[in-house]
Amino acid sequence: MGLLYIVPTPIGNLLDITYRSINILKKVDYIISENIKHTSILLKYFSIKNKLLKLNTCNEKEKKNKYIIMLNNGKNIAIVSNAGTPVINDPGYLLVKHAYYNNIRVVPLPGACAAITALSASGLKTNQFCYEGFLPKKQKSCEKKINSLCKEIRTIILYESPKRLIHTIKLIKKIMGSKRKIVIAKELTKKWENIKKGTVKEILNIIENNIYWEKGEITILIDGKKKNKDNILSSKILNIFNILKKEMKKSTAIKITAKICGFNKNILYNNIIKKKYNEVD
Ligand code: SAM
């Protein structure tokens, strides 16, 4: 039984490939590539001579069977994409999935990935994040998706085409508000690498009417929604009020809640209880 290696390639700077990746690309029987012309340039740069086979999103369903047979027959195969980690918004998922059905060992190599590279430099929270790939192209589905991410508290990572950048940031502004912090990371590891961080409004000011942002590869990061301390406090106070209200008159419950929480009873009533009263009652 052969091995299926997942081999990341640089996302711009050709030096961002590991020794191990080069060794594997030299020693496997075949390299499966998203684009033969593109991969040939990389192989030439590192003096790697090997046989290339095609696998792209259009032919993956059909080609995977052929490659599984080759793996079953003992051939070692490496999969690469045009840039970064294969399978991550790149072809290969079906092949990996079927490798498992056939008890073929999948060997992942660590390496370049635009999402992680951008995240590491974003200055946004990195201990919890979610990767969402590309947003849907259709306006309605795109809005729906951003809406569904609105309350996400983890840092959100998106891939985006430069042509849609302004449109997407405008949608983020419309749905998440102009104050949400975002980062746009352009051309990472390349000569014109540029990372900008600011509120949605500030970033929009930078990229609007500037053709510089209409080209190049872009990764967007959105700060997760911050927990509103006032809301947490309000809900704790309301909790106390609700418990007391079951045992006594409403006015007494307000008075005692105010005492427990150290508020003036009128302020407590007008600012918290009255506002929520419909939900509370
Ligand atoms: N598998 C790849 C990876 O591991 O990063 C991602 C492939 S996906 C088809 C390509 C998208 O990744 C681009 O449209 C862009 O959003 C992002 N990307 C790739 N290279 C980048 C770079 N150098 N700087 C910023 N974003 C990049």
pLDDT at residue 220 greater than cutoff 90: yes
Q: What is the pLDDT of residue 7?
A: 98
- At 209, the pLDDT band (50, 70, 90 cuts) reads confident
Partner residues linked to 59 by β-bridges: none
Q: Is the dihedral of CA 153, 157, 160, 166 positive or negative?
A: positive
Provide the percentage of residues in the chain whose pLDDT is more than 70: 95
The residue whose CB lies within 8 Å of the most ligand 1 atoms, and thus the one to mutate among 35, 57, 188, 214, is 188
CB distance 112 to 11 below 8 Å? yes
Q: Is the CB of 223 under 6 A from ligand 1?
A: no
pLDDT at residue 115 greater than cutoff 60: yes
- Quickly count: other Cβ atoms within 10 Å of residue 57's Cβ: 12
How far apart are the CA of 82 and the centre of ligand 1, in A?
9
Average of pLDDT values for 77-102? 97
Average of pLDDT values for 229-258? 82
pLDDT at residue 280 greater than cutoff 80: no
Q: Is the CB of 92 under 6 A from ligand 1?
A: no
Q: Is the dihedral of CA 19, 22, 28, 33 positive or negative?
A: positive
> What gap in Å lies between CA 126 and CA 153, rounded to an integer?
12
Q: What is the pLDDT of residue 20?
A: 98
Render pLDDT for 22-63 as a digit per residue (tens, 0 to 9).
999 999 999 999 999 999 999 999 999 999 999 998 999 999
- Residue 106 is encoded by which pair of tokens? 């999948």
Strand positions, DSSP E, 34-82: 52-54, 77-80
How far apart are the CA of 85 and the centre of ligand 1, in A?
9
pLDDT at residue 229 greater than cutoff 70: no
Q: Is the CB of 122 under 6 A from ligand 1?
A: no
How far apart are the CA of 3 and the centre of ligand 1, in A?
26
Order of strands, sheet of 155-160, starting from the edge strand that comes earlier in the sequence:
129-134, 155-160, 218-222, 181-186, 194-199
pLDDT at residue 152 greater than cutoff 90: yes
CB distance 239 to 260 below 8 Å? no
Of ligand 1's atoms, which has the minimum distance to the CA of residue 161? 14
Q: Is the CB of 185 under 6 A from ligand 1?
A: yes
Pairing of strands 155-160, 218-222: antiparallel
**Lowest-pLDDT choice from 10-14, 72-76, 87-91, 211-215:** 211-215
The residue whose CB lies within 8 Å of the most ligand 1 atoms, and thus the one to mutate among 11, 80, 165, 221, is 11
**Which runs of consecutive H residues, i.e. helices, occur in 78-152?**
93-101, 114-120, 139-149
Q: What is the pLDDT of residue 281?
A: 38
Q: Is the CB of 113 under 6 A from ligand 1?
A: yes
pLDDT at residue 10 greater than cutoff 50: yes
Q: Is the CB of 56 under 6 A from ligand 1?
A: no
φ, ψ at 80 (rounded to 5°)? -130, 160
Pairing of strands 218-222, 181-186: antiparallel
Of ligand 1's atoms, which has the minimum distance to the CA of residue 158? 16
Residue whose C-alpha is closest to residue 24's, from 37, 8, 1, 10:
8
- At 232, the pLDDT band (50, 70, 90 cuts) reads low
The residue whose CB lies within 8 Å of the most ligand 1 atoms, and thus the one to mutate among 57, 117, 218, 222, is 218
Q: What is the pLDDT of residue 269?
A: 80
Pairing of strands 105-108, 155-160: unpaired
Q: Is the CB of 12 under 6 A from ligand 1?
A: yes
Average of pLDDT values for 164-174? 96
- At 279, the pLDDT band (50, 70, 90 cuts) reads very low
